[in-house]
Structure 1
Amino acid sequence: MLEEIYRAMDSYYHNWIDQAKLDLSEIDYAMAEEKVMEGKEKFADEMRRFRRGIQLIKDDSKPLVRKSFMLMNEVFKRQDESRKKPYMSWRLFQIVYIVSIIPDIVSREYSDVENDSPMVDVLWFPTGGGKTETYLGLVLFNAFFDRLRGKKAGVTAWTRFALRLLSLQQIQRIADTLGQAELVRRETDGIKASDNEAFSVGYLVGEGNTPNSLTKYNDDRRSYFQQNPDLMQKFKIITKCPFCKQSSIYMDILFEEARIVHRCTNPECKEDVLPIFVVDNEIYRYLPTMIIGTVDKLSAVGNQRKFAHLFGRVTHKCPQHGFLSVGECTEKYGCKLKKTDFKPVVLKDPSPSLQIQDELHLLKEGLGTFNSHYETFIDYIQQEAQNGARQKIIAATATIENYNNQIKHMYRRTARRFPESGPILGESLYAMTLKDEVHRIFVGVMSHNKTHINTMIELLQMFHKEIQTLKSDLRFVNRINGLQDLSESDINKLLLLYEVSLTYLLTKREGDRLDQSIEGQVTSYLHRYKLKALHNKSLTGSTNFDEVAGILNLLENPPEEEESRITSVTATSMISHGVDVARFNFMIFFGMPTQTAEYIQSSSRVGRSHVGIVFVCFNPNRERDQSHYHFFKKYHEYQDRLVEPVPINRWSKFSIKKTLPGLFTAVLLNIYYYEHQKNLYFAEEARKLIEDGKLTEEKVIGHLNLSYGIGDPGSEDYKFEIEQMVRKFFNQLRNPKQNFTSDSINPKPMRSLRDIDEPVDFKIGRETDSVFRTIEREGRRNG
């Protein structure tokens, strides 16, 4: 099959020029010839990489590659058999991409394999096209390959998301796939023995969503959770068991192991405690096969020396609490075992070999810049810990422009996109635009003699009145071609798919106003026609973790009782990525988003499996909205070309002042702590190390220069800043004023990559209050 695909690629390559000439006039082709030839050469490179992967799979001298490839396919075959609508096969772009990346992954074991592992491969494909399954295929190949080559424990892959909602939505799919992979592993000779760790998932998102640890100095929360089991349910990150597929998950505590666990309560399921880790400290001591987390969690490297465990800095294993380092149990405040009980371990190539950045385009502006500094530092300490070993980085996105620049600033690496454009606009070997098929219908609305919010309310009123009216009288199908033969059950199922309205908000403040209007005006309107009030839910950045999970679960699994079903959702940009709900098929934009990429991503939430209807309710008081209204059709016709480049600048003048304190402490905790076996959390220990000449300014500056990339174009100011700030920190540690190192330096390390500015308290005086009230009145008057 792979050879057949390659032959099809070869044929497509040789017909490249002819296809381009058929699509373009002679004059247009002459103008575009250089671009056409450039595309042809890039496609030739895709062929070269795919061919290299095929040869590696067929190479009898490296049988582990073929075995891993077969096991990966076996997992997806079994997964597909359990679907209601099986896919039957890989999509063409998926299998070509997977096979092309294989040489980069296996080069960690086979140094003689030609590879492009330093290159960042950007997977560019439309929303809903199957990017998640593609990178999951690579994760499974890598996991099986690791086990077969003797890596019996340790992190294989780390997937990073910019938003917690992304990771929450994806984790059930990931857990299901890893669960099936674990069943296959248990059947496979050579890796089914008990000394091979089970395939597992770690959810690393931080204390705001899941606990950092259960035991701390003078703070043991195990009894508290044991006595209040309902409190643990908010840490549930999946609703169905990956093994039996039943909604049978209950959160429980293992007291002695100091773990909060997902337990399957289905008596017919052979599993009990599932291989899922949600507490940070558990992840550091069990080293799950795949870590799923948000990028802002990378700041933990500057606050937690156990972060280095993820890159293989472990020396022993506690029989009760997992991997450890520097002679102390990772769960030291809850461990009663002696040091002599710890077993020495030497893990094979224990650091991750694959890094996946989903929704790459979200890493922009301040978050993108801060993340870039931490990304290259983590790349640096991994090489320090594992003799130069680096992760292969792949990135997935549906909307991006000028990706080369973003990758250069983010990772200090070069990039390439897959797949490249074909010789015909809107077509390639892997996909084409079906002009006769409708997936979404877009309608632009501009109000006249009416406020913006009142127009929104009327749209919601009319939509929900129509849906509820249709439900009460199914004879409407007689007037619509193609629906006359549907049964009453089928009609109700169809209406259920269009029961929910999704409203996109530009700001949370607008959402608060609209939510009040839905409760008041929309409800009154529907009651006037003896119709049911809306069951409205809000999804914003301030929505609690467990509440988000509950809302998504209710949307995906609507109750039989109509009164209990959610029928309206108002959401900010957090809804625009990674959300795949079949019942989202009607959407209204409360104004036009400022970025084309955001508009594309958000509108892609509807119409993923059924035709979606999108209304854009323009604000008549905004010039930009007026422009979009007047050029509505043309804007949608050229939408992909109007995607803005991602704004990111690695060498932003003031960003180093935010990131350097955390990376300074990260050097102490992740390098010097291990080299000298000194507890550098404490400022006094750091002071002694400085006094003994073992911790020097020059060496720390050297580590930071290498991690930041000093010497790259644009880095000149950073070199000076690093020298100045490191000398300042050393002076502060020579005479520390606080107990902890992180408290003794100023400015302090970031606790999250979203720490943009220091909070400032302010009070509203009498005159200021009067101004705010005037602004509020004017705002309401203008809608």
Structure 2
Amino acid sequence: VRRKAYADHGIELVHEDPATSADAMPKDENETIADANSQDETAAPAAPVSRLLREGRSLPLTLVDPAPIPGKWQRLDLQLPTFEFGSDDEPATLKDKIDSYNARLTDTVASQIDAYVCGEAASLIWRDAHVSPADTVAEDAWIRAMSLIAGKPIDASRVVPDLSRIGIKVDRQQEFIDQTRMSFRITLDNRSSEPTPKDSQGRCNTIFGAGLLIEMPSAAHRPMRLDRVEPSYRFRDYFNYPAIGLNCGIATSKQDDAVQLVTTAAPRFEQPRIVARHIDVPCQFATLADPAFDVSVLGNLPNAYRAWTDEQERRLSGVATAGLDEADAKRETDRLRNDLDAMRNEARLVERGVELLITSREAATKPAANGRTDRETLERRAAPWRAWTMTNLAFSSRDRHDARSGWRLFQMAFILAHIPVFASRISDWRDYHDPVLDEDTASLLYFPTGGGKSEAFYGTLLFAMFLDRLRGKDRGITALIRYPLRLLTLQQAQRLLKLLMHAEMVRRRNQVGSWPFEIGFWVGNQNTPNRYAAFRSEIPMFGDPDHPDDTDLDGESGNDEARARGKRYVDALESYNKVPECPICRSPTGLRRDERDGPKGKRAAIVCFNSTCEWNTTNGLQTPLPFLLTDDTIYARAPAVVLGTIDKLAMIGQHTGTISKVLGMFGLARWIDQSGNLDTPRQEENLRGGPARDACLPAFPAYRGGQRVFFDPFPSLIVQDEAHLLEESLGTFSGIFDTLLDQVFDEVSKMAGDDLNVARQWTGDGWGAPRKPKIVAATATISGPDKQLETLYKRRPIRFPCRGPDIYHSFFSEPAAPPSGNEDRMALARTLPVHLAPEATTPWMRLYVSLMTNGATHTVTTVKVLAAFHAIITEAWDGLVAETKRSAAVGKLRAAVSEDAAGKWRRDAIDRAVDDDRHNDVVALVDLHRIALAYVTNKKGGDQIIDALGDAIEQQHRPLGRHLMPFDSRLISGGIDMKEIQSIMEDAQSSLVGIELPDIATTLRNIVATSAISHGVDVDRFNSMFFAGLPSDIAEYIQASSRVGRAHVGFVMLLPTPQNRRDRYVVETHDVFHRFLERMIAPPAVERWAENAIKRTLASHVQAWAMLREAREFLALGDDRKSSVTQMDQVGRFAAMARGDHVAFRDELGDFILRAIGFVGRGSTNFGAPHYGDFYRGLVEEQVDEFVRDMAARSMIAPLRDYWNDIPAFRPPMTSLRDVDEAGYIVAAGRDPLATGRSSNIDRGGLAAVMRAIRTQRGFGSELDADGGADG
């Protein structure tokens, strides 16, 4: 019966229907007994038709419902009439003209639409009809069905848009100040109603590609004045604006005697490339490293600088105040005078450095006349010259592949200006001590991103390192280098390591000192362990003959035990090897446990296994890279450079054991072993046994009879990179701990300054206070540095280099010259005014474009733009790779170039490449934009783009024959571990030019990124970037957009959030906005004197005071009584002092804290002291008094760390500068208490994976973990 029933509908059952044979299927034995408590199963069986479809059977067409015809939008270009009016028309006349034009406009639009609907396209107009499946079985049936539908009448109300309310509006207003000027507001307004959801299926009342072209006589056009922008002589030529758009940008052109203003939805700004100026001064490393070089030639630099400054003064004196009122003119006159003075002062500082080198070189070439004393004097005086030549020699060695490699002009000037800062630490050069430059100011190294700031302070650093070795500081810290972000810290550490290794090889060859140059990587144990003990046995010992390299440690070789150990080693290597490639020979490196120096000198070593590597051959045998991974190794070796995150400043107050070790690096180490490793034991048992029991020697001055280890142990340089990020709480705590570090130096100097040969200030008639480190703060985006540097360092800023007379020129930099082969471009540059030539003729650095969109959500718009961009790149790539399509692909690229004069230059360049058969150059250009960066202002937006991008890419690529094309898109955000970010950067950096070009589907195409990309992600192959909305901070926009265009032309597209008025305004003033980016940087929000911040740091100050007090008492004891020193980090000691003399204890501790937070200010003027001193003095005294009273009431015998875990008077010491709120801890467990299986043991492999993921997260709550332990 069933077969017959189906047959009546044309369905033949070939096999037994599965549903009818259910009884024949074996039942699960659990289903044979019904549950008395279960409900009756009443679920309906599956629909027969759907089952047939799943089984792939054919269906009769009579069972399928007809379907509506989907519409396809058709673009219709309209020819609109021109509207003419007089600027002086009477209001009534103007109104009549507007009304008449709008009526004509409506009629013109309607007639063109009607002509289209009723003309040849009538058969294509959409009808609300349906087609049946029978219409699709054959072409004839389909044509017949379409003919029938086309014969139906057109329902105009369903398909014809209602554009009857589109019109021009003209508003005009006479300017209040200048009655001869008239302001016009001209708009194209579409007031058509929104169609209903049903009507929107067939018609749309929106006009697309709309715009206005306004033409007027040149004599009639008066540019708008940006009156609300503060006047500035540097921007004086850019305050006029042709017009401001409304929901659009404006492009301007001149035709004969007329000016054309054209609206655009995608305004552009071509940012010119700024390059270093060249003057008649040698800057090549190899030249400057030559001992025979005539250093007096460098005097041409300050001489040229002064001459250039004089020329600018003559040129600007008559124009800087043009058009300004009296008040503004006075302010600009003063500003110009101050800037000129700053330029001349900068030239003088450079000149002093050159003069010192000239004199020093004379000493280096002068023979000693009176034996040893005279020779030692000459050596000291020759030290700056030798340090200068070796600095250049190290850079030359690093860049030996390029003989022309050298300093940029501002880099050399910066180094020369700071040579006296370091040389004046030598008594023979004390007259070069400048209290203002050396002590009272911080050098603000301010230059655009990618301009070479790092090289400038690297040069200063190397000079100071070599000079320290030459002046007698054979070991110890020369510089502290700090970064606010861990990714940036690691990248810069790897970059500096290469230079430092070359410097170390130069040091060895020149036999300067005995202790090697090393970098201490001072970060939290989310990056590297704080202690050597964390490195387990899976890491082979250094020199292990069974493992001369990592060949057998890949986790895949050997037996089960060997493979298991190899996997553990690979895990450790991935987690802790921060230098996976040798900086010298680029061979893979490995980890080893180096215990050759005994128990005090155990360290984790990164090793290059290449026996022919220059590093190993120079040292005579395989030698660990000079990169110290763990904190205990850093404290033991006191390396020349301590490089880490800014958060590590908290270590000088975090744990008493750690504080003692830090003090040990600064001259208070108590023991030193035979290999030179420092130690600061504090336990009575250790001290009673003495250093000899541990195979150590006592160190001076901790022991009066100890070995003299230290010479001026304080760092002479502190570098803070990306200083603009030190704002809000991070900047506040950084400033407080920086002055605590200053106070530590003062206290150590009081205890043993002369014993430690601490450098002192020369007052002209004697030695004064101890010299403090020179502060260099580097940034590319800053505003209001005076307040920030006062907060951070209690110093005034001195900017290097000084700003130039306009936004594109300074003594040290200028716009790049037009290409030498382009005569038209060079001629135009010569004829244009100096302020117009850069933007018109200079090669681009970045092309900024904004795209204003309406009618779609921001995410949808962003995704569509990204997909369209990638489709363009894919199409160009496929065409250029396929030889048969190459000519057409090049032609398409050429046709896409604009038709203006600048476009002709670029078309000619393409033609030259084709004529010279340089198709690979064209491919290389496309390859430079293969990877797009999509910047999102928050992670949620990034997730939305990632989710939607795949479908959009597929939609855009399907017409290109790229159906289901793989698309490699990655994510960079704060939650991505650093190793993965580095992997992304390595993949991106790989060029495909010069090899057989792969299928583009196999390459990296897209990176969605948050603000995590803005610092430290420097890849020359990032050249296209899309902003999904404007970042709230302009400095962030500058930093992020500078990821592209570093070496090649960068393309930056801003996709403003339509509902955000600020974003829309950027589009309306696009070129002015991007030209004035520097002026719109917000001053850092930072305040040292925040009451809660001071309270939060009190515990750290208490512990620093305690360890300094203990060190002072230790020094006062005789060498044979050191074990009797009282440990100050005991609650009992504090309680005894509080009960013994409450007032004296309170006053001593309170006075230390006030000085450590910067209460007294700097220098004779007390610069940086708080304005309301009584309040802050009272605050500290009240808090300290409460602490002392609390201690007096304590009777517990416990270390101070236990007190902080109890109910202390203060919050516990900060573990990092971001430790503002209460912290939580993630601790690995060995057992799972919620396990339901037979075993509750945790899988060690899974646990390792989880902890590795946690360890490598780039968290922003804390950049490092707490130190601890009895000895820190």
Q: Compute the TM-score of the two structures, normalised by the length of structure 2.
A: 0.56
> Which residue of 1 is the match for residue 399 of structure 2?
80
- Confirm or deny that 1:718 pairs with 2:1181: no
> Which residue of 2 is the match for residue 67 of structure 1?
386
Structure with bigger gyration radius: 2
Deviation of 1:625 after TM superposition, in Å, equals 1.7
* Counterpart AA for 2:433: E
> Which residue of 2 is the match for residue 764 of structure 1?
none
Deviation of 1:427 after TM superposition, in Å, equals 1.5
> Which residue of 2 is the match for residue 477 of structure 1?
890
Deviation of 1:165 after TM superposition, in Å, equals 1.9
Q: Is the 8 A contact 1:523 1:533 kept in 2?
A: no
Residues 199 and 685 of structure 1: CA distance in aligned 2, closer, same or farther (over 3 Å): same
> Which residue of 2 is the match for residue 753 of structure 1?
1217
Residues 321 and 77 of structure 1: CA distance in aligned 2, closer, same or farther (over 3 Å): closer
> Which residue of 2 is the match for residue 117 of structure 1?
438
SS of 1:381's partner is helix
Deviations, residues 714-749 of structure 1 (Å, cap 9, x unaligned): 344332222222233334444176944234133111
- Confirm or deny that 1:700 pairs with 2:700: no
Q: Is the 8 A contact 2:1101 2:1156 kept in 1?
A: no
Deviations, residues 325-371 of structure 1 (Å, cap 9, x unaligned): 24679x99xx9993343353421111211001111111001110111
> Which residue of 2 is the match for residue 742 of structure 1?
1201
Where do 5+ consecutive residues of structure 1 fail to align?
762-783
Q: Is the 8 A contact 1:232 1:260 kept in 2?
A: no
> Which residue of 2 is the match for residue 260 of structure 1?
604
Q: Is the 8 A contact 2:593 2:602 kept in 1?
A: yes
Deviation of 1:144 after TM superposition, in Å, equals 0.3
- Confirm or deny that 1:248 pairs with 2:588: yes
- The whole-number CA distance in structure 2 between the counterparts of 1:147 and 1:516 is 57
Deviation of 1:170 after TM superposition, in Å, equals 1.5
> Which residue of 2 is the match for residue 418 of structure 1?
800
SS of 2:1007's partner is strand
SS of 1:439's partner is strand
- The whole-number CA distance in structure 2 between the counterparts of 1:154 and 1:639 is 42
Q: Is the 8 A contact 1:558 1:565 kept in 2?
A: no
Residues 756 and 544 of structure 1: CA distance in aligned 2, closer, same or farther (over 3 Å): same
103-112 or 730-739: which moved more?
Answer: 730-739
Deviation of 1:693 after TM superposition, in Å, equals 6.5
Residues 716 and 465 of structure 1: CA distance in aligned 2, closer, same or farther (over 3 Å): farther
Q: Is the 8 A contact 1:168 1:549 kept in 2?
A: no
Q: Is the 8 A contact 2:1138 2:1189 kept in 1?
A: no
- Confirm or deny that 1:45 pairs with 2:364: no
Deviation of 1:129 after TM superposition, in Å, equals 0.8
- The whole-number CA distance in structure 2 between the counterparts of 1:185 and 1:760 is 46
- The whole-number CA distance in structure 2 between the counterparts of 1:11 and 1:627 is 42
The structure 1 residue matched to 2:924, chosen from 488, 493, 499, is 493
Deviation of 1:94 after TM superposition, in Å, equals 0.9
> Which residue of 2 is the match for residue 235 of structure 1?
576
* Counterpart AA for 2:877: K
- Confirm or deny that 1:610 pairs with 2:1048: yes
- The whole-number CA distance in structure 1 between the counterparts of 2:948 and 2:1201 is 47
Residues 310 and 444 of structure 1: CA distance in aligned 2, closer, same or farther (over 3 Å): farther
- Confirm or deny that 1:554 pairs with 2:987: yes
601-610 or 690-699: which moved more?
Answer: 690-699
- The whole-number CA distance in structure 1 between the counterparts of 2:581 and 2:1154 is 47
Q: Compute the TM-score of the two structures, normalised by the length of structure 1.
A: 0.89
Residues 563 and 704 of structure 1: CA distance in aligned 2, closer, same or farther (over 3 Å): farther
Residues 503 and 314 of structure 1: CA distance in aligned 2, closer, same or farther (over 3 Å): same
Residues 23 and 502 of structure 1: CA distance in aligned 2, closer, same or farther (over 3 Å): farther
> Which residue of 2 is the match for residue 318 of structure 1?
673
- The whole-number CA distance in structure 1 between the counterparts of 2:1180 and 2:307 is 54
- Confirm or deny that 1:578 pairs with 2:1016: yes
> Which residue of 2 is the match for residue 683 of structure 1?
1131
SS of 1:352's partner is coil
Deviations, residues 578-608 of structure 1 (Å, cap 9, x unaligned): 3310111011112111111111111111010
Q: How does 1:410-559 map to 2 (within 5 A)?
A: 410-434=792-816, 435=838, 436-474=842-880, 475=886, 476-478=889-891, 479-480=893-894, 481=907, 482-483=909-910, 484=914, 485=916, 487-518=918-949, 521-522=952-953, 526=957, 529-530=962-963, 532-557=965-990
> Which residue of 2 is the match for residue 16 of structure 1?
312
- Confirm or deny that 1:399 pairs with 2:399: no
* Counterpart AA for 2:940: R
SS of 2:607's partner is strand
- The whole-number CA distance in structure 2 between the counterparts of 1:23 and 1:477 is 48
Q: Is the 8 A contact 1:409 1:649 kept in 2?
A: yes
Where do 5+ consecutive residues of structure 2 fail to align?
1-296, 364-377, 541-564, 617-621, 700-706, 754-769, 817-837, 881-885, 895-906, 1115-1124, 1161-1168, 1226-1272
The structure 2 residue matched to 1:591, chosen from 1014, 1024, 1029, is 1029
Q: Is the 8 A contact 1:317 1:324 kept in 2?
A: yes
* Counterpart AA for 2:672: K
Q: Is the 8 A contact 2:1132 2:1197 kept in 1?
A: no
SS of 1:432's partner is strand
Deviation of 1:68 after TM superposition, in Å, equals 0.7
SS of 2:432's partner is coil
Deviations, residues 527-569 of structure 1 (Å, cap 9, x unaligned): 7733643322222222223333333333334688766643322
- The whole-number CA distance in structure 2 between the counterparts of 1:337 and 1:454 is 73
Deviations, residues 89-125 of structure 1 (Å, cap 9, x unaligned): 3111111111111111222223332322112111111
Residues 524 and 717 of structure 1: CA distance in aligned 2, closer, same or farther (over 3 Å): farther
Cα RMSD for the two superposed structures:
2.9
Q: How does 1:650-689 map to 2 (within 5 A)?
A: 650-673=1088-1111, 675-676=1113-1114, 677-684=1125-1132, 686-687=1134-1135
> Which residue of 1 is the match for residue 493 of structure 2?
171
Deviation of 1:494 after TM superposition, in Å, equals 3.2
Q: Is the 8 A contact 1:203 1:277 kept in 2?
A: yes
Deviations, residues 469-488 of structure 1 (Å, cap 9, x unaligned): 22211122345332324535
- The whole-number CA distance in structure 1 between the counterparts of 2:948 and 2:455 is 40
- Confirm or deny that 1:358 pairs with 2:721: yes
* Counterpart AA for 2:385: R
- The whole-number CA distance in structure 2 between the counterparts of 1:564 and 1:178 is 38
Q: Is the 8 A contact 1:23 1:424 kept in 2?
A: no
SS of 1:401's partner is coil
Deviation of 1:705 after TM superposition, in Å, equals 0.8
* Counterpart AA for 1:249: T
> Which residue of 2 is the match for residue 767 of structure 1?
none
Q: Is the 8 A contact 2:1129 2:1199 kept in 1?
A: yes
- Using CA pairs under 8 Å that are at least 6 residues apart, name the structure with larger relative contact order, 1 or 2: 1
- The whole-number CA distance in structure 2 between the counterparts of 1:180 and 1:493 is 33
* Counterpart AA for 2:929: Y
149-158 or 723-732: which moved more?
Answer: 723-732
- The whole-number CA distance in structure 2 between the counterparts of 1:471 and 1:6 is 50
163-172 or 16-25: which moved more?
Answer: 16-25
Q: How does 1:1-12 map to 2 (within 5 A)?
A: 1-12=297-308
Residues 310 and 549 of structure 1: CA distance in aligned 2, closer, same or farther (over 3 Å): farther
- The whole-number CA distance in structure 1 between the counterparts of 2:929 and 2:944 is 24
- The whole-number CA distance in structure 2 between the counterparts of 1:543 and 1:248 is 24
**Identity of counterpart residues, as a percentage?**
29
Q: Is the 8 A contact 1:353 1:391 kept in 2?
A: yes
SS of 2:668's partner is coil
> Which residue of 2 is the match for residue 33 of structure 1?
333
Q: Is the 8 A contact 1:262 1:276 kept in 2?
A: yes
Deviation of 1:681 after TM superposition, in Å, equals 4.5
- The whole-number CA distance in structure 2 between the counterparts of 1:103 and 1:364 is 31
